[in-house]
Amino acid sequence: MRVAALGRTRWLRDSIRRLHDQGHEIAGIATAPAAPEYDVRESDFERLAEELGCVCVGDLEALPRADVAISVNWPRLIPQLVLAAFTHGVLNGHPGDLPRFRGNAAPNWAILLGEERVVATVHRMDAGLDSGPIVVQRAFELDESTYIHHVYAWLDVAFPELFGQAVAGLAAGTIDLTPQKGETVRCHPRLPRDGLLDWTRPAAELARLVRASAEPFAGAFTFLDDDCITVWRAHPERLAHAAFGVAGHVVDRRNSGHAAVLTGDGLLVLEEIELRGERAQAAELLTSTRLRLGLDPARLVERVRCLEERLSD
């Protein structure tokens, strides 16, 4: 089949290669500026297009027409005029279980919500947001040890295989489209500042935030006085005995290199953190059980006052 491609990410690039290797003709590629966490940029798609002997454009209307198009993470809704330009429509790769996880950051939200699985979906696009009929799906089981980079590593493999299966099925006439059914949920984007750890929250919830914010994203974070600490690895624990304390206090430094912090209902055991540019086991950087993590409003007010005085001078 003659295939066009539009979008961003490693998933799209590797899917294009997969389809080319399966014998499909790549008609052209449309791409857009990459997000900060992406390891594949516009220049990578330009080189791929040159290698495959097709055009690489930034305008969807300049994309050559084909039997079918594949899409991953195009930053805007695709106009109906473009969707209708391909005989078999546009197949979109979405890292969420449709229709429950439409929109942005679906794998991150799945971890944050304590879901049992993440689902990779290829569906035929319509005028709505992630709302067209499903072509193929595949699931990845989640547990309390799953970090977002584990999900991404799985998606790196799953999407090229799913697109290969979908396009081959369309060519053979063996694909059945399944309308989306059930509750529709809209996932909204997450920003780096959403990784702030609120120590009054339950430990399990904070651990999910750490796992959902880790590489390739900016990481969950807290503060020690004026320094920002990025928490890259952590797990929750129950308190072994009753304790009085304030959430955010470092209550234990362990021979394992971990450091336990009091939360709203237990402990978040910090395994690996980053402080002042140094990344290490938590107990190496948190050197005392007298430390208190989190924003100090009084200290923040004082720093603002000092800054205002300096500016006025």
Dist. CA 306–CA 313, nearest whole Å: 11
What average pLDDT does this structure show over 172-185?
93
Domain boundaries, the chain: 2-187, 192-299
Among the CATH numbers 3.40.50.300, 3.40.630.10, 3.20.20.70, 3.40.50.170, which is that of 2-187?
Answer: 3.40.50.170
pLDDT digit string, tens, across residues 213-251: 999 999 999 999 989 999 999 999 999 988 899 999 999
Tell me which residue has tokens 């994203």. 217
Number of other residues whose CB lies within 10 A of the CB of residue 306: 10
3-state secondary structure 61-82: HHCCCCCEEEEECCCCCCCHHH
With a pLDDT cut of 90, the percent of the chain lying above it is 89
pLDDT digit string, tens, across residues 41-71: 999 999 999 999 999 999 999 999 999 999 9
First to last CA, the chain: 70
What average pLDDT does this structure show over 261-287?
97
Taking alpha carbons only, the member of 188, 3, 186 closest to residue 89 is 3
Predicted local confidence at residue 124, as pLDDT = 97
Dist. CA 153–CA 142, nearest whole Å: 13
**Does residue 300 register a pLDDT over 90?**
no
Between helix 148-172 and helix 203-213 the angle, nearest 10°, is 60
Among the CATH numbers 3.40.50.300, 3.40.50.720, 3.10.25.10, 3.40.640.10, which is that of 192-299?
Answer: 3.10.25.10
Instruction: Assess contact for 9 and 93: CB atoms under 8 A.
Output: no
Instruction: Assess contact for 104 and 94: CB atoms under 8 A.
Output: no
Dist. CA 35–CA 264, nearest whole Å: 34
The rounded mean pLDDT for the chain is 95
DSSP helix/strand/coil, 13:
helix
Burial of 38 (0-12, 13-18, 19+ CB in 10 A): middle
- Residue 202 pLDDT level (bands cut at 50, 70, 90): very high
Predicted local confidence at residue 233, as pLDDT = 98
Quick check: pTM over 0.95?
no
What average pLDDT does this structure show over 124-137?
94
pLDDT digit string, tens, across residues 79-110: 999 999 999 999 999 999 999 999 999 999 99
Number of other residues whose CB lies within 10 A of the CB of residue 276: 9
